[in-house]
Structure 1
């Protein structure tokens, strides 16, 4: 489906560029750039997802995943807000004791997510990925 979209956009963009009028030329160039931006976004998203999955697998194998099974949940199945905040405070203390460890960053990112702070969850998970990658390259 995406290939069809890229081909259609590419053809329209080339038609606009060949038209020769300045406005069409600008729109044509913009249309050629859109698929490139789209590919970059898809690539970045997949790369991040695979990195997060690798960390989750390692944490699971090491027994370091957060245990949320006993926490109260709302009717939608989400962890109760107060319980998520309490979990976050516990994990935050672990992270503050060892902020350069990818495992504590991973756990903090998960706790941020459970507490509803998606922005900090993404930032902290990004840091966990960087730290884990550095650990792997050091060997």
Structure 2
């Protein structure tokens, strides 16, 4: 199953859960009393927070997909298929570090080019540092949006 289909399925399940949670909040409001209303407000905040997280995650994913398509059209999409892999399928650590160093050098040479930041984010990802990969990809998205 493609990653997008899994994301759609998970989003649909989350929306159902959030609707049910909002229904519980309404029931607490209808129960009345200070405790019921306060609990209802607290429970209602959870679906609102969930919706905000889903919307921002989808927006980010769509923007990253746009960058990916643009790089692919330019023939510059990162390719690590030739790097050696462990039995688990992950890129060998030394090879990932070498590939990372080359991407970091690209960013240092052209710090305002979103393409370098995109590739650096990809390098962080194959090195297993997902937090830095997300931060770096946000930088790529921000720089690309400034190009327009």
Counterpart selection for 2:20 from 8, 32, 35: 8
1:79 and 2:87 are equivalent in the alignment: no
How far has the Cα of 1:132 moved from its partner?
0.6
Separation (CA, whole Å) in 1 of partners of 2:128 and 2:65: 20
CA RMSD of superposed structures (Å): 1.5
Separation (CA, whole Å) in 2 of partners of 1:98 and 1:75: 35
1:121 and 2:136 are equivalent in the alignment: no
Counterpart selection for 1:17 from 12, 25, 29: 29
Count residues with an aligned counterpart.
Answer: 136
Q: Is the 8 A contact 2:125 2:133 kept in 1?
A: yes
Separation (CA, whole Å) in 2 of partners of 1:93 and 1:4: 46
Which residues of structure 1 form unaligned runs of 5+? none
Counterpart selection for 1:69 from 78, 81, 101: 81
Separation (CA, whole Å) in 2 of partners of 1:135 and 1:110: 21
1:68-96: per-residue Cα shift (whole Å, max 9, x none)?
12110011211111100000001111110
Which residues of structure 2 form unaligned runs of 5+? 1-12
Q: Is the 8 A contact 2:19 2:47 kept in 1?
A: no
1:19 and 1:42, CA in 2 relative to 1: closer, same or farther beyond 3 A?
same
Give the structure 2 partner of residue 45 of structure 1.
57
TM-score (norm 1): 0.90
Q: Which entry has the higher C-alpha Rg, 1 or 2?
A: 1
Give the structure 1 partner of residue 38 of structure 2.
26
Give the structure 1 partner of residue 144 of structure 2.
132
TM-score (norm 2): 0.84
* SS, match of residue 133 in structure 1: helix
